[in-house]
Structures are given as structure tokens and as C-alpha cells.
């Protein structure tokens, strides 16, 4: 049976208009005023916005880190995504040292397949580059529908790559139609600063931030951009946290270089004062890059508004405060890095961005969904409301207000970074490829319906599409 969403206002990255949306099977088949046919099921969307399902381009589910692993796996992480209005996630399949990329992908399929409540794709996070891995990059991963890579300039002796590796991967990415994502912090400098702090007996969580100052992010961002320019390759800078790093991106973009920036809700909404929290609870905010002085937030919002930043990813990388973060109780450098956010990314961006008058409804859709679809080879199947697109639709009721709390969240972690924060609006329904998976905050079906997404190469329309990022 086909379904018609009636009386809502369709919001895309460019349009706002009242129309009914007819869904047949997995696709949107008609949009207009009189699109229903005899026998169609009708769902009232009066007073609501119809948004394309959110796309979170940055999650870490079931990621082993040191002697532990993230609290959320694909089951809990994608349930949380769904109830929050996100219907696609792109997770980082992370290569272990000595492992082939094909093996890393197999590992991630084992973690995700049959367990995901939203659609999912993988970026490949490369930690160990050699000749055969370079060869795999050119062929294997693209065949597997993985058209983006991630390299880390931080986490010395674990994930960090040197400049020569980064440059070679960028050169190859250009030829192979891959988009390289980079974690921009100078890992060597951080290593020195951490050793100095520990030698002085500074062990509390706040020293995580002191040992990763803005300049290590600014320098690495600038360096990565220079390497991308040398290679003539596009670059996606993940989790931009500071005005200084953003400035490096803006300057490159004004030279016409294809540099794309992502920021995260935590850098838009939280600041370094969180590290003053009593006792060890400041460990909740130990993430990389760390939270910054408040003044950076306005710059990041401006970057989203003027297009210097293209996306907001959650960087969901959750660890329980009790039993995981507290591995670093007597040494901040042993606190697993990262925080939760996949459930709240969409709602917070709407609340603070649209509700706070910082971005328009169209910009919200672009940042929360469309731009990620374009950059990562999913558009127009995902990221918009159009005839022929997947029926990934959020019926968003802007009149419902709620309060974010760990007590009521789907995320399987013992805290929420935004505890007590008011959210404006909530999904009344979430559709994943035509299937009504969420009603009034509850999952409708116990069976995970998420599918693996084979993504198109960046070069297949990427340059053209990405020049149209909003
Ligand atoms: O602290 C963070 N962000 N942890 C997740 C891994 C990464 O650096 O993106
Ligand atoms: Zn991350």
C-alpha cells in the first residue's frame, strides 16, 4: 500500500513549500497537491515540516580503543540515530595495524550487517600504509562502495600518519575518485605537551585540553590543506573546533581549493568551561579536539551560515564515565577520547540553529543532510525530498518541546553531553526507505531495517554536485 504524507511543508536545501508526498515502496513517487490514489494510507503531517532524513557523516560504533571499545555498537547507535531523525550514518571502518583494507571492511560488515536500524556506509580509516594497501585503495575499496578515506594527523604511534603518507594518499585519491577526510591535530606536538604535563604531575581531565591547544589544530589544518593543494585533491576536514582552523579553510576556499569542513554539535554548543566540572566528571568532555573558549562558537556558526563549513557530524564515540572513561582517573592521557551525540545532532542543530535564528530552514537541511549526501556519493538517492529519491523523511513537529537526558536516551552510555538542554521540535514519524520506523520517539519495529550503502566515487558528479553545496 502506498502512503501519502498530507498537509506538511516540504523543506529541502533550496525550497520550502506546502505539498503532499506520496511514497510507494522505498521511493518518493509524487509530490504535489492531489497525489493520493484510491487505497492509499494517509498520514497527517499538518503543522509539521517534512525534512529529508538526517545524514550523520561521522560516527564510531563498536570501535576498539586501547583496552576497551565504544559503549555504542551498531544496534544501539543506529536506534539512537533513528529516534533523533537521522536515517543514514557513515561510520569509520578502522584498519588495525598489519591488516588489509579488505579485512577492515569485512570486520565492519560483521559489526553492522543485520544490526543497523538506519542505512549505513563506511569510510575507511587507514592506520597502516604500505604498497599493498596503496594498491587496495585504488581498486578494492571503491568496488566495495567505500569512496572516502580517513587519515589521522594525531594519536602518535597509534593512528597518526606522517606527511609523506598523507600526500601519497591524497595523490591517489584524486585519481581514484576518493574523498580524503583528515583529523587535523599535530600529534607530535601533543605528545611532547602531554609528556611535559605528566612529568609535572598534572593528571586531571582538564589537562587533556591544555595539551591540545588551538594552535595544534590550526597548524595541522593548514598543513593538510597545503598537502591537498600539492596533490590537487579535494579534502574534508573533520570536526573543526576553532575559529583559527576555520580561517585556514576559508582562506583555501577563497583560493578556489576544494576544501570542505565539518563541525560538531559539541563545538557549537559547549565550551572549555566544561573542564572545570567537579572531580572526574570533566572526563565526559575529553574528546579530540577538545572543547574551546566560547568565542569560537560564533565563528563556527558563521562558517555554517556562509558555507565555509559544509556539514555537522556528531563524531559519536561514546564511552561510559564509569568503567571506561575512568581508565584515566589517575592520568588524563589514558581517558578514552570521544563523546556521544548521534541521537541529538539533528535536534540540536534545529533547536539552536533554526530556533536560535542562526541558520535558515534550508541551511539546516543542507548541513544536516544534503551536503553530506553530495560529498559522500549518496545524492540524490539520499539527502533530499524529490521524486525518485529514497523515502527517508522526518515529519518534524516544531511545537513539541522536550529536555535531553541520559535517563531517556537510546544511546547506550551513562551520560549525555547535553543533559538538561531544551530541544525544540521532535520527529512525529521517521521513514526509512518508505518504512515508518519511528512514531513519537519510539521505534516501531524490533527488526533492524538498515541497508549497507554502496557510495558513488567523489569524481562521479562530485565536483559538479559539490560546487552546489549550500
Ligand atoms: O575524541 C574523539 N573525537 N574521538 C573519536 C576519534 C576521532 O578523533 O575522531
Ligand atoms: Zn571521529
- Flag whether pLDDT at 461 surpasses 50: no
Q: What is the mean pLDDT of residues 329-343?
A: 98
Spacing, Cα 188 to ligand 1 middle (Å): 17
Q: What is the pLDDT of residues 444-455, one digit of tens each?
A: 978 999 999 999
Q: What is the mean pLDDT of residues 110-124?
A: 98
Residue 394: how many other CB atoms lie within 10 Å: 31
Q: Which residues pair with 4 in a beta bridge?
A: 22, 42
Spacing, Cα 278 to ligand 1 middle (Å): 23
Ligand 1 atom 2, closest CA: 338
What was the pLDDT predicted at 445?
A: 79
Ligand 1 atom 8, closest CA: 288
Assess whether the C-beta atom of 397 lies below 6 angstroms from ligand 1: no
Q: What is the pLDDT of residues 23-72, one digit of tens each?
A: 999 999 999 999 999 999 999 999 999 999 999 999 999 999 999 999 99
What was the pLDDT predicted at 258?
A: 95
Sign of CA dihedral 97, 100, 106, 109: positive
pTM passes above 0.95 = yes
Spacing, Cα 315 to ligand 1 middle (Å): 7
Sign of CA dihedral 256, 259, 265, 269: negative
Question: E strands within 134-269?
Answer: 148-152, 179-183, 235-237, 259-263
Atom of ligand 1 nearest to the CA of 287: 1
Ligand 1 atom 9, closest CA: 315
Q: Is 390 helix (H, G, I), strand (E, B) or coil?
A: strand
Which residue out of 288, 290, 334, 417 has the highest number of ligand 1 atoms within 8 Å of its CB and is therefore the one to mutate?
288
Spacing, Cα 60 to ligand 1 middle (Å): 8
Spacing, Cα 337 to ligand 1 middle (Å): 6
Q: What are the backbone angles phi and psi of residue 53, rounded to the nearest 5°?
A: -55, 145
Which residue out of 64, 315, 318, 328 has the highest number of ligand 1 atoms within 8 Å of its CB and is therefore the one to mutate?
315
Mean pLDDT of the residues in the chain = 96
Assess whether the C-beta atom of 317 lies below 6 angstroms from ligand 1: yes
Exposure on the CB side of residue 284, measured as CA atoms within 13 A: 21
Amino acid at each position: 500500500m502506498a502512503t501519502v504524507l498530507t498537509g506538511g511543508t516540504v523543506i529541502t536545501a533550496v525550497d520550502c513549500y506546502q505539498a503532499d508526498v506520496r511514497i510507494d515502496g522505498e521511493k518518493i513517487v509524487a509530490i504535489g497537491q492531489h497525489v493520493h490514489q484510491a487505497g492509499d494510507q494517509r498520514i497527517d503531517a499538518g503543522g509539521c515540516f517534512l525534512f529529508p532524513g538526517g545524514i550523520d557523516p561521522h560516527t564510531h560504533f563498536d570501535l576498539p580503543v586501547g583496552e576497551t571499545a565504544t559503549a555504542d555498537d551498531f544496534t544501539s547507535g543506529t536506534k539512537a540515530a533513528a529516534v533523533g531523525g537521522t536515517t543514514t550514518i557513515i561510520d569509520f571502518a578502522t584498519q588495525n595495524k598489519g591488516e588489509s583494507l579488505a579485512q577492515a571492511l569485512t570486520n565492519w560488515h560483521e559489526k553492522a550487517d543485520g544490526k543497523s536500524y538506519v542505512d549505513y556506509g563506511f569510510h575507511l580509516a587507514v592506520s597502516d600504509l604500505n604498497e599493498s594497501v596503496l594498491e587496495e585503495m585504488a581498486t578494492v575499496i571503491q568496488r566495495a562502495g567505500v569512496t572516502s578515506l580517513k587519515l589521522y594527523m594525531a594519536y602518535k604511534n597509534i593512528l597518526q600518519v606522517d606527511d609523506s603518507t598523507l600526500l601519497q594518499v591524497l595523490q591517489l585519491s584524486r585519481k581514484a575518485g576518493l574523498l580524503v577526510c583528515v583529523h587535523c591535530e599535530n600529534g607530535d606536538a601533543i605528545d611532547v605537551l602531554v609528556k611535559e604535563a605528566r612529568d609535572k604531575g598534572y593528571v586531571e581531565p582538564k589537562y587533556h585540553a591544555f595539551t591540545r591547544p588551538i594552535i595544534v589544530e590550526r597548524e595541522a589544518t593548514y598543513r593538510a590543506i597545503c598537502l591537498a593543494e600539492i596533490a590537487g585533491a579535494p579534502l574534508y576536514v573533520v570536526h573543526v573546533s576553532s575559529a583559527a582552523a576555520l580561517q585556514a579553510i576559508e582562506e583555501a576556499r577563497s583560493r578556489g581549493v576544494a576544501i570542505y569542513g565539518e563541525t560538531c554539535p559539541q563545538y557549537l554548543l559547549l565550551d572549555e568551561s566544561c573542564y572545570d566540572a567537579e572531580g572526574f566528571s570533566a572526563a565526559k568532555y575529553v574528546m579530540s579536539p577538545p572543547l574551546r573558549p566560547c568565542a569560537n562558537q560564533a565563528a563556527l556558526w558563521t562558517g555554517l551560515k556562509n558555507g565555509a563549513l559544509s556539514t555537522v557530524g556528531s563524531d559519536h564515540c561514546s564511552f561510559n564515565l564509569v568503567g571506561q572513561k575512568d581508565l584515566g582517573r589517575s592520568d588524563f592521557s589514558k581517558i578514552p577520547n570521544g563523546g556521544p551525540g548521534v541521537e541529538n545532532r539533528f535536534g540540536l542543530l534545529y533547536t539552536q540553529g533554526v530556533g536560535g535564528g542562526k541558520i535558515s530552514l534550508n541551511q539546516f537541511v543542507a548541513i544536516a543532510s544534503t551536503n553530506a549526501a553530495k560529498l559522500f556519493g549518496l545524492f540524490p538517492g539520499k539527502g533530499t525530498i524529490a521524486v525518485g529519491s529514497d523515502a527517508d523523511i522526518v515529519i518534524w513537529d516544531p511545537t513539541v518541546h522536550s529536555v535531553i537526558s541520559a535517563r531517556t536516551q537510546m544511546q547506550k552510555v551513562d551520560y549525555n553531553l547535553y543533559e538538561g538542554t531544551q530541544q525544540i521540535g521532535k520527529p512525529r514519524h521517521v521513514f526509512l526507505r518508505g518504512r515508518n520506523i519511528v512514531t513519537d520517539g519510539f521505534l516501531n519495529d524490533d527488526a533492524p531495517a538498515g541497508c549497507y550503502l554502496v557510495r558513488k566515487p567523489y569524481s562521479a558528479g562530485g565536483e559538479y554536485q559539490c560546487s552546489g553545496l549550500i
